[in-house]
Amino acid sequence: MSTQMQAPDTAQNGAQRRDTVTVIDNRTGESYELPITDGTVRGIDLRQVRTSPEDFGLMVYEPGYANIASCRSAITYLDGERGILQHRGYPIEQLAEHSTYLEVAYLLIHGELPTSAQLEEWRHEVTIHTFVHENVKRFMQGFRHDAHPMGMLLGSVGALSTFYPDANEIEDPENRAIQTVRLIAKMPTLAAFAFRHSRGQPYVYPDNDLRYSGNFLSMMYKMTELKYQPDPRLERALEVLFILHADHEQNCSTSAVRGVGSSHVDPYSAVAAGVAALYGPLHGGANEAVLRMLNRIGDKRNIPDFLRGVEEGKERLMGFGHRVYKNYDPRARIIKSAADDVFEVTGRRSPMLEIALELERIALEDEYFVARKLYPNVDFYSGMIYEALGLPVEMFPVMFAIGRTAGWVANWLEQVQDPEQRIARPRQIYTGSRDRDYVPIEQRG
């Protein structure tokens, strides 16, 4: 099959310009004109390309969906070639500088920046829903002492669906609104409980006098003091991290949320799927993998050896490369500068930072990385901030999940209200045997 796109100068040549693409099937000589809408052709339109009436028709084979648009979305704009990230049209740089996480969450979910009154109400709603049922606490206590906090988060957010069985009434806007608030509000509580569990420390209840990030720090670090006073600089650094992770269009975990949500399951189960996807080392687990990698390199002198191994395909340079960005990830740039503020407060400048900076410098000049357009992504430096905040590496993907909850929920809400969406159900190319007769076990060789 050959696919011919109209030459850009067709109109100048006198031929009529049409928003279509002509496909010629060289097996049959048939030609098909497919409409182009928003720079896309519909995969289903290819099904008419067939060799006979019995033929199933042409399908698109695309592992990893790299060139498949699975939805229309008005939430996040991303131009990976130019390193641009915007939420509802607002550049990530401006949001990271001026906004708060809850305001960005509101923006992602409602589509507009809130007025003061709307923000106050939103903040109040989220604040009064930070507590979880005591039984949630009890079953979290049932995890093994060394349970990975991301696994605990995954299990517990999914379990919330059993505490809110009406959450499956996804057609009801009011119902969706309350589950939305609950998810944004309870995620930090579950995350902090998971952290305290891994330390063998008592869980700390939310403090509703504090703001979103301050309350999270309190649930993480409060010991015997009557009131935990978060350092405003650390609070701000956390806000920035949560903002930077809030959404990133159709990434693996958001696609998982949409894929599972397309079955019309409740949002807790859909978000649990997002947490599961984020757990993996190629996605949200990468920040954890970066720190492990830097620890393994151990010294700047070992960098050339390490990079040789990467170039020989023995391993990956974690925190580098991105499916969409073929330029410096704008989030990595902001995080890199936020790291210094945190190091100043905590006095814990990560010993790994020197190695990371040198690794980045060498990699950005290295032919292997230049040719493949591999740049640092959001995970390259975020781990060092988390480390400076006293977090163990297992908590890094959990931090990512807290921030990303806003994006997951915004995408879920958009999806369930999108009349074009259907249950996610891809096709396959079947490569196995066919038409075999069952062989009784005693006759098998």
Query: Is 283 in the active site?
Result: yes
| Residue number with CB closer to ligand CMC (317 or 395) | 317
Amino acid at 381: Y
The active-site residue, picked from 283, 329, 340, 418, is 283
Choices 86-94, 188-196, 313-321, 406-414 (CB under 6 A): range interacting with ligand CMC: 313-321
Pick from 386, 101, 106, 73: nearest CA to 245? 101
Partners of 59 in the β-ladder: none
- 251, 254, 269, 411: residue in contact with ligand CMC (rule CB under 6 A): 251
Catalytic, out of 197, 245, 322, 329? 322
Whether 98 is catalytic:
no
How near is the Cβ of 197 to ligand CMC at its closest, in Å? 25
322 has catalytic annotation: yes
Nearest-angstrom CA–CA distance, 292 and 393: 8
Please state, in angstroms and as integers, the Cα–Cα distance from residue 5 to each residue in 8, 12, 13, 42, 46, following that order.
9, 15, 15, 15, 15
Asked if 310 and 316 count as a contact pair (C-beta separation under 8 A), the reply is: yes
Alpha-carbon distance of 231 to 239, in angstroms, equals 12
Length of the chain counted residue by residue: 445
Q: Which of 110, 137, 323, 349 binds ligand CMC (CB under 6 A)?
A: 323
Sites for ligand CMC among residues 263-282 (CB under 6 A): 282
Torsion of Cα atoms, 83 then 87 then 90 then 96, to 10°: -80
Q: Which is nearer to ligand CMC, 206 or 259 (CB)?
A: 259
Query: How far is residue 72's CA from residue 205's CA, in Å, rounded to a whole number?
Result: 40
316 sits near ligand CMC (criterion: CB under 6 A): yes
Per rule CB under 6 A, is residue 259 in the interface with ligand CMC? no
Name the closest residue to ligand CMC (Cβ).
321
378 binds ligand CMC (CB under 6 A): yes
Contact (CB, 8 A) for 83 and 330: yes
- For ligand CMC, the closer of residues 133 and 326 by Cβ is 326
Number of residues that bind ligand CMC (CB under 6 A): 21
Site residues for ligand CMC per CB under 6 A: 64, 248, 251, 282-284, 286, 310, 316-323, 372, 374, 377-379
Catalytic residues: 283, 322, 379
